[in-house]
Amino acid sequence: MTDKNKQSASGGENKEEGLTEVLTEETKFYYPSAAMKENATVKDWDEAIHVAESDPEAFWAEAAEDLEWAEKWKKVLDDSKKPFYKWFVGSKCNIFQNALERHQKTAVKDKIAIISEQEGGRIQKLTYSELYQEVNKFAAALKKLGITKGDRVAVYLPNIPETAITMLACAKLGAIHSVVYAGFSYLALRDRINDAGAKLLVTANASQRRGKIVNLKKTCDKAVEEDCLSIEYMIVVKNVDQETIMKEGRDLWFKNITQNEKENVETEIVDGNDPLFVLYTSGTTSKPKGVVHDHAGYMVGVNRTFKWVFDLKEDDVYWCTADPGWITGHSYIIYGPLMAGITNIMYEGVPDYPENDRIWEMIERHKITILYTAPTLVRLMMKYGDEPPKKHNLATLRLLGSVGEPINPEAWRWFYRVIGQEKCPIMDTWWQTETGMFMITPLPVAALKAGSATRPFPSIKASIVDKKGQRVPVGKGGFLAINNPWPAMLNTLWRNPERYLETYWEKIPNVYTTGDMGFVDKDGYFWIQGRADDVMNISGHRIGTAEIESALVSHEAVVEAGVIGKPHPIKGESAKGFVILKKGFEPSDELIDALKKHIRNTLGPIAIVDEVEFVDKLPKTRSGKIMRRVLKAKELGLPLGDISTLED
């Protein structure tokens, strides 16, 4: 690493001073309908919380009985090496048994598992039995290519059935999938492949997005050619009809290796605590963290939260608008819905193309009953007004969900009134890549408040604390912490247990640090206000300021850079970069464009920087860390706060 990279990779100062007096709080309650209360699986929210709280282990042991195990656990929770907690210790299982295998013995096998739709209109339907067969074929093909238990398989695919097939085939073999969102650049993909040491990469030749064709294979070629030594094979799904260059000996068409496959592959029964996947997420340095989840605890946590929070019924048609490349997709597009045996939509495209009512048109056409989406999408749709949804019959919807960032009360109310027609409760689910499952969320029978994720899921203890770990009074802002372990919690960070300890358990004593800020109101409802660390949340996607800074300083014209997130009406946050130029480079609009393009090439289209400003100096602490807090306060015209550590 060069010196200039060190500057930004070290991360900024901690926003430890960030405790604030909280200003707003919505007090109106929205109550569930009588029908909702009558039909709900969990009828009494308070009671459910009370029961789980009195004996969390018994609660989760009971939840685990809903699933199939090759051998049951000897112990529900082992905390002897905390915070390396282990759930369902001594169990033997495979999440694949629960996601697909067990359905083959019931009527679920003939149900539609996945309805996939491409932006251009192509629709494909797979029943649970067809999906099972496809996974088996691909698992057999992977096996022939030498993939066995514990091997890492990198996945760079759009939101199509092959993504589910690949993830499940890995699980079936006991291999570890590492899905990289297909909007990341080749460099980001390369780093993730190298960190995980993946042997094989599964991709598609291309994807469709807003009428354009995105060449994914080309990105993968560049990533792999840029010294990904561990990759032996690249498997390519022909997703779009177009010319694709395949490399002899390395590249294989997905279809060619699966279509004649006859072998019946045994599901690898793994130890419940064996890893199921690694998923990289942004942190406060420029190096992403490989979050590791296992089979046992993850499947129990995801299954119970999914069924309870969305109050699933057999005939539900469910649409989560996230991408499988994020944790929301892992838990609540792939594993949760399949374990529950419901019908799931996978849509490869954007919700407002070719017309701005595409999303509502799809809800009507597929008779969708549950829509789980993100505040950024709600705000985008709100911008188009009430007409687009009013053109469609949305009466099949019975429940709505939100995830990814705080939903502002105005967007919440629009979603509730116009989309939910005042009869669909909104499940505002707070959780993270690391938590694996919903943590703070209402149940459908809860009294809701617009903009609050309400209370912790039964058995979870959450609190708002100061930096010493002391609870702060009601209404006061502070750090959101989790006080007790939960089954779908991350096991560690891939090959970096020290960073696991340091990031989540050592910043604030005795609790799991979420990195978020918020407050609790007088009714015990949580209001999450955003990140406390140097991570931005742009359109519900986590991206570190340090990652963008590192990309900026890798440009030949840049000496130093500081990046901040600014409030944005649709995206929630947008990024602004403050840049010090090297001698010999002059500020210009062309250079701004070049820098924006450079960031896009380095990190991918998810890292869009809206503004770049050239400066002579950046505010720094005496130890040389950029004080992003000061940059932000200046930019937004807010008080500078404590600047005693400011060097100049």
List residues binding ligand WTA (CB under 6 A): 281, 326-328, 402-406, 428-433, 453, 514-516, 528, 530-531, 537, 542
Give residue number: closest CB to ligand WTA.
433
Which residue, 175 or 517, is less far from ligand WTA as judged by CB? 517
d(CA 609, CA 588): 16
Which residue, 137 or 192, is less far from ligand WTA as judged by CB? 192
Which residue, 409 or 587, is less far from ligand WTA as judged by CB? 409
d(CA 382, CA 418): 9
In the bound complex, what is the minimum distance in angstroms from residue 211's beta carbon to ligand WTA?
A: 27
DSSP SS3 for 180: coil
Q: What are phi and psi of 333, to 5 degrees?
A: -115, -45
In the bound complex, what is the minimum distance in angstroms from residue 438's beta carbon to ligand WTA?
A: 9
In the bound complex, what is the minimum distance in angstroms from residue 531's beta carbon to ligand WTA?
A: 5
d(CA 542, CA 548): 12
- 127 close to 219: Cβ distance less than 8 angstroms: no
- 514 close to 481: Cβ distance less than 8 angstroms: yes
Which residue, 222 or 499, is less far from ligand WTA as judged by CB? 499
**Tokens encoding 299:** 């499947």
Which residue, 275 or 401, is less far from ligand WTA as judged by CB? 401
Annotate 40-96 with three-state secondary structure: CCCCCHHHHHHHHHHCHHHHHHHHHCCCCCCECCCEEEECCCCCCCEEEECCEECHH
Pairing of strands 526-531, 399-402: unpaired
Pairing of strands 92-93, 123-127: unpaired
Give the ranges where 147-282 is alpha helix by DSSP (H): 161-173, 186-196, 216-225, 254-258
In the bound complex, what is the minimum distance in angstroms from residue 332's beta carbon to ligand WTA?
A: 9
Which residue, 529 or 601, is less far from ligand WTA as judged by CB? 529
d(CA 54, CA 524): 18
Which residue, 167 or 557, is less far from ligand WTA as judged by CB? 167
In the bound complex, what is the minimum distance in angstroms from residue 629's beta carbon to ligand WTA?
A: 17
- 234 close to 189: Cβ distance less than 8 angstroms: no
In the bound complex, what is the minimum distance in angstroms from residue 625's beta carbon to ligand WTA?
A: 22
Which residue, 168 or 528, is less far from ligand WTA as judged by CB? 528
Q: Which of 535, 291, 576 is nearest to 405 (CA)?
A: 535
- As to burial, measured by CB atoms within 10 angstroms (0-12 exposed, 13-18 middle, 19+ buried), residue 249 is exposed
In the bound complex, what is the minimum distance in angstroms from residue 606's beta carbon to ligand WTA?
A: 11
CB atoms within 10 A of CB 143: 19
- 454 close to 267: Cβ distance less than 8 angstroms: no
In the bound complex, what is the minimum distance in angstroms from residue 447's beta carbon to ligand WTA?
A: 17
**Tokens encoding 428:** 């505002």
d(CA 375, CA 381): 10
Which residue, 142 or 443, is less far from ligand WTA as judged by CB? 443
DSSP codes of every residue in 498-522: HHHIIIIISSSTTSEEEEEEEEE-T
In the bound complex, what is the minimum distance in angstroms from residue 614's beta carbon to ligand WTA?
A: 30
Which residue, 530 or 587, is less far from ligand WTA as judged by CB? 530
- Provide the 8-state DSSP code for 21: B
In the bound complex, what is the minimum distance in angstroms from residue 185's beta carbon to ligand WTA?
A: 18
In the bound complex, what is the minimum distance in angstroms from residue 198's beta carbon to ligand WTA?
A: 21
Which residue, 273 or 435, is less far from ligand WTA as judged by CB? 435
